[in-house]
Amino acid sequence: MSLRLGDIAPNFTADTTQGPIDFHQWIGDSWALLFSHPADFTPVCTTELGKTALLNGEFAKRNVKPIAVSVDDLASHNKWIPDIEEVNNVKMNFPIIADEEKKVATLYDMIHPNASEKATVRSVFIIGPDKKIKLTLTYPASTGRNFTEILRVIDSLQLTANYQVATPADWKHGEDVIIVPAVSTEDAKTKFPKGFEIIKPYLRKTPQPNL
């Protein structure tokens, strides 16, 4: 069964490179980035996990905990980590889940038989502190993820969770946002004291409200 936006992220217990976890307890009051990689000791995955480690400060600034998963075992993960650290000149600073029984992969529908019967596709789940799924992305095994885009999406999700705004195409942190149609123009005068521009009756732009 496919998971949909707004669904509660399935809970699980698992061994990781940083010790055993209960997923929901591990998330706590943070956001979580759960992402799968097809296999250890593969070139694209080595760059992806390294990039995530390099962005540790950016994730921490946003109260986001990254965690990776593949269907390899803990011994394999631990043997691979020195390669990740050497290739990317970084220390691994987030856990990798050992999922050799494919429990997590099955819960999160990470194995797509037409792509591979054995390995997970490059799935991304962003999960809020309420344990609900806020975003899903699926890449083929051959394509590495854009972690700058993942950070951009997190910025949008966190902003729009707290204000009655949406973010336009190609939006980046610091740029103008869109007032949602549910807010009347009259109410917008109070809710958005920085002012706003009416481009169309249904398209009103205002400076990012949390800056």
Positions annotated as catalytic residues are 45
List all residues 6 or more positions away from 193 whose beta carbon is below 8 Å from its beta carbon.
none
- C-alpha closest to that of 94 among 131, 36, 129, 50: 50
CB 135 within 8 A of CB 125: yes
* Residues with Cβ within 8 Å of residue 6, at least 6 apart in sequence: 132, 133
Residues 182, 195: contact at Cβ < 8 Å? no
Three-state DSSP state, 36:
strand
